[in-house]
């Protein structure tokens, strides 16, 4: 979708918003799949209410993009524009055991920056691609930890109320790959409280998690991490593997040979290919076990 309304185009620089016309979402997602649309890069949180009022007044549909690492975007010219935060400098500020982190900050860099300052707890998240905002929205976790455990405060734009708000940690519920945020809430910043730990000890934990991840996940390939959530008490990856579906393909979309809950783009996969593969695997699992796997990957398809 192109922003053609001159009223909007003229106001963007005043709001500190940069327009990247016809951006390729394939280039902005870890799956490397997705069509094109106009991208608005937001430099100041304070500009968001005015920007969104403007877009709504002109009926411009929009979506918020984090790091694009858990996302499957449709093909072709997309019927909405995309908004993305630009990380400020610095994007992480420490004070005692608290880390104030911008939502656009890279998650891995946040884990290592905190570690170097003797703040631990997030070792399991090393190697999880994406932004802190994206991790927060879905309560990303691995190796027995989840980011929600450390959240004390979240600054967000509440689309329903059309304003910036700050929520305390106890006002938010964090469950397995799920939070109480509304789908159109936009994460802006988070205050984490992290346990003190000497850097060498944190580094040991980071190395162990890195090794486990390297041994079991297709890290060098284009993927969106796990496609499905684990059903209670089971592993979606194991269930798919046990059906012998590793290597199953639709076009260049392929069930990873290394971890069956990772579906990789082995070349020039389209969203159509990937969606067909996901639907096929889901149906086969349902037929064999009766379990309907729930999507973990977020799909923006029309
Ligand atoms: N397994 C297989 N075949 C496979 C994959 C896994 O037999 O193809 C078996 C493993 O051998 C193991 C069990 O299934 O016995 C569990 O596998 P794994 O330890 O890889 O954990 P998972 O449940 O498949 C979850 C998260 C990952 C996270 C790892 C490590 C979900 C959907 N997945 O995977 O998170 O990195 O644990 O904590 O919760 C993600 O959310 O995108 C993600 C990658």
Q: Which atom of ligand 1 is nearest to the CA of 176?
A: 39
Mean pLDDT in residue range 34-44: 98
Distant-in-sequence, close-in-space partners of 279: CB < 8 Å, separation ≥ 6: none
Q: What is the pLDDT of residue 100?
A: 98
Mean pLDDT in residue range 66-89: 97
Whether the predicted pLDDT of 120 surpasses 90: yes
For the question of residue 114 being annotated catalytic, the response is no
Distance 84 CA to ligand 1 centre (A): 30
pLDDT band at residue 92, thresholds of 50, 70 and 90?
Answer: very high
Q: Which atom of ligand 1 is nearest to the CA of 142?
A: 38
**Ligand 1, residues 72, 227, 237: which to mutate, most atoms within 8 A of Cβ?**
237
Mean pLDDT in residue range 211-217: 97
For the question of residue 302 being annotated catalytic, the response is no
pLDDT band at residue 1, thresholds of 50, 70 and 90?
Answer: very high
Mean pLDDT of the chain: 97
Distance 186 CA to ligand 1 centre (A): 28
Distance CA 136, CA 122 (A): 13
Q: What is the pLDDT of residue 177?
A: 97
**Ligand 1, residues 70, 142, 243: which to mutate, most atoms within 8 A of Cβ?**
142
Q: What is the pLDDT of residue 35?
A: 98
Distance 123 CA to ligand 1 centre (A): 17
Q: What is the pLDDT of residue 192?
A: 98
Candidates 41, 114, 137, 226; catalytic one: 226
Candidates 109, 152, 177, 284; catalytic one: 177
CB 115 within 8 A of CB 202: yes
The pLDDT tens digits of the residues spanning 226-266 come to 999 999 999 999 999 999 999 999 999 999 999 999 999 99
235 lines ligand 1 (CB under 6 A): yes
Q: What is the pLDDT of residue 78?
A: 98
Whether the predicted pLDDT of 21 surpasses 80: yes
245 lines ligand 1 (CB under 6 A): no
Q: Which atom of ligand 1 is nearest to the CA of 237?
A: 5
Number of neighbouring beta carbons within 10 Å of residue 6: 8
Q: Which two tokens stand for residue 226?
A: 């796990």
Name which residue sits closest to atom 1 of ligand 1, judged by CA: 238
Q: Which two tokens stand for residue 4?
A: 């053609």
CB 114 within 8 A of CB 199: no
Whether the predicted pLDDT of 110 surpasses 90: yes
Whether the predicted pLDDT of 302 surpasses 80: no
Is residue 206 exposed (0-12), middle (13-18) or buried (19+ Cβ within 10 Å)? buried
Distance 235 CA to ligand 1 centre (A): 6
What DSSP letter does each residue of 150-218 carry, written as one string?
GEEEEEEEETTTTEEEEEEGGGS-EETTEESS-TT-EEEEEEEE--B--HHHHHHHHHHHHHHHHHHS-
Q: Which atom of ligand 1 is nearest to the CA of 140?
A: 41
Q: 203: cis peptide before it, omega within 30°? A: no
Q: What is the pLDDT of residue 86?
A: 97
Mean pLDDT in residue range 196-220: 97
Q: What is the pLDDT of residue 173?
A: 98
Mean pLDDT in residue range 83-93: 97
Mean pLDDT in residue range 172-199: 97
DSSP state of 222: B
210 lines ligand 1 (CB under 6 A): no
pLDDT band at residue 20, thresholds of 50, 70 and 90?
Answer: very high
Distance 237 CA to ligand 1 centre (A): 6
């Amino acid at each position: 979708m192109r922003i053609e309304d001159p009223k909007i185009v003229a106001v963007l620089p005043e709001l500190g918003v940069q327009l990247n016309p016809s951006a390729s979402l394939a280039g902005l997602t870890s799956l490397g799949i997705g069509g094109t649309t106009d991208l608005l890069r937001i430099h100041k949180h304070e500009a968001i209410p005015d920007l969104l009022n403007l877009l709504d007044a002109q009926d411009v549909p929009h979506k918020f993009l984090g790091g694009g690492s858990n996302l499957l975007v449709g093909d072709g010219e997309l019927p909405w524009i995309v908004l993305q935060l630009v990380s400020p400098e610095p994007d992480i500020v420490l004070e005692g055991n608290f880390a104030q982190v911008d939502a656009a900050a890279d998650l891995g860099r946040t884990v290592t920056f905190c570690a170097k300052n003797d703040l631990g707890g997030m070792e399991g998240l090393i190697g999880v691609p994406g932004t802190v905002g994206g991790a927060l929205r879905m309560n990303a976790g691995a190796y027995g930890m989840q980011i929600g455990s450390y959240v004390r405060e979240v600054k967000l734009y509440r689309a329903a109320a059309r304003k910036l708000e700050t929520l305390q940690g106890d006002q938010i519920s964090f469950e397995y790959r799920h939070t109480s945020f509304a789908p159109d809430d936009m994460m802006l910043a988070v205050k984490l409280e992290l346990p003190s730990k000497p850097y060498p000890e944190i580094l040991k934990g980071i190395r162990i998690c890195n090794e486990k991840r390297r041994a079991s996940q297709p890290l060098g390939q284009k993927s969106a991490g796990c496609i499905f959530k684990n059903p209670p008490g089971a592993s979606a990856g194991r269930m798919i593997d046990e059906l012998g579906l590793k290597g199953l393909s639709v076009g260049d979309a392929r069930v990873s040979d290394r971890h069956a809950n990772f579906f990789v783009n082995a070349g020039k996969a389209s969203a159509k290919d990937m969606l067909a593969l996901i639907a096929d695997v889901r149906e086969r699992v349902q037929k064999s076990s009766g379990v309907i796997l729930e999507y973990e990957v977020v799909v923006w398809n029309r």
